[in-house]
Amino acid sequence: MMAIELVQPGTAGTTKVPNPEAVTALAAHAAQNGVLVLTAGTWGNVLRFLPSLAISDELLEDALGVLADGFASL
Protein backbone atom coordinates (compact mmCIF):
# COMPACT_ATOMS: atom_id res chain seq x y z
CA MET A 1 0.00 0.00 0.00
CA MET A 2 1.11 3.54 -0.74
CA ALA A 3 -0.54 6.84 0.08
CA ILE A 4 -0.32 10.51 -0.77
CA GLU A 5 -1.38 13.20 1.70
CA LEU A 6 -2.78 16.29 -0.01
CA VAL A 7 -2.53 19.70 1.63
CA GLN A 8 -3.35 23.25 0.58
CA PRO A 9 -0.54 25.06 -1.21
CA GLY A 10 1.25 27.46 1.06
CA THR A 11 4.58 28.94 1.98
CA ALA A 12 7.38 26.76 3.26
CA GLY A 13 7.58 26.36 7.01
CA THR A 14 3.89 26.99 7.68
CA THR A 15 1.36 24.54 9.05
CA LYS A 16 -0.03 22.36 6.29
CA VAL A 17 -3.81 22.62 5.86
CA PRO A 18 -5.53 19.36 4.77
CA ASN A 19 -7.16 19.36 1.33
CA PRO A 20 -9.97 16.76 1.41
CA GLU A 21 -11.71 18.41 -1.56
CA ALA A 22 -8.76 17.55 -3.82
CA VAL A 23 -8.80 13.94 -2.61
CA THR A 24 -12.53 13.67 -3.30
CA ALA A 25 -12.06 15.09 -6.80
CA LEU A 26 -9.13 12.76 -7.54
CA ALA A 27 -10.99 9.69 -6.25
CA ALA A 28 -14.01 10.57 -8.41
CA HIS A 29 -11.84 11.15 -11.48
CA ALA A 30 -10.06 7.84 -10.91
CA ALA A 31 -13.34 5.93 -10.49
CA GLN A 32 -14.80 7.48 -13.64
CA ASN A 33 -11.75 6.25 -15.52
CA GLY A 34 -11.67 2.71 -14.12
CA VAL A 35 -9.07 3.13 -11.36
CA LEU A 36 -10.05 2.26 -7.79
CA VAL A 37 -8.40 4.20 -4.96
CA LEU A 38 -9.33 4.70 -1.33
CA THR A 39 -9.57 7.87 0.68
CA ALA A 40 -8.30 7.89 4.24
CA GLY A 41 -6.80 10.02 6.97
CA THR A 42 -8.12 11.83 10.00
CA TRP A 43 -9.05 14.82 7.82
CA GLY A 44 -9.95 12.82 4.68
CA ASN A 45 -6.96 14.20 2.80
CA VAL A 46 -5.10 10.97 2.04
CA LEU A 47 -5.35 9.04 -1.22
CA ARG A 48 -4.45 5.35 -0.82
CA PHE A 49 -3.28 2.98 -3.54
CA LEU A 50 -3.47 -0.78 -3.14
CA PRO A 51 -2.27 -2.30 -6.44
CA SER A 52 -2.09 -6.05 -6.81
CA LEU A 53 1.38 -7.52 -6.44
CA ALA A 54 0.81 -9.18 -9.81
CA ILE A 55 -0.21 -6.02 -11.70
CA SER A 56 1.22 -5.78 -15.19
CA ASP A 57 3.40 -2.86 -16.20
CA GLU A 58 0.80 -1.84 -18.78
CA LEU A 59 -2.04 -1.68 -16.24
CA LEU A 60 0.15 0.20 -13.76
CA GLU A 61 1.12 2.76 -16.40
CA ASP A 62 -2.55 3.19 -17.37
CA ALA A 63 -3.57 3.76 -13.75
CA LEU A 64 -0.74 6.22 -13.14
CA GLY A 65 -1.74 8.07 -16.31
CA VAL A 66 -5.31 8.42 -15.02
CA LEU A 67 -3.99 9.78 -11.72
CA ALA A 68 -1.63 12.17 -13.49
CA ASP A 69 -4.57 13.51 -15.52
CA GLY A 70 -6.55 13.91 -12.30
CA PHE A 71 -3.76 15.87 -10.65
CA ALA A 72 -3.41 18.05 -13.75
CA SER A 73 -7.10 18.92 -13.60
CA LEU A 74 -6.97 20.17 -9.99
At 22-51, the pLDDT tens digits run: 999 999 999 999 999 999 999 999 999 999
Q: Contact at 8 Å (CB) between 44 and 3?
A: no
Residue 3 neighbours by CB distance under 10 Å: 14
Share of the chain above pLDDT 70, in %: 96
Strand segments (E) across the chain: 2-5, 38-40, 46-49
pTM of structure: 0.87
Is the CB of residue 26 less than 8 Å from the CB of residue 68? Answer: no
- Hey, where are the domains in the chain? 18-72
The letter for the amino acid at 62 is D
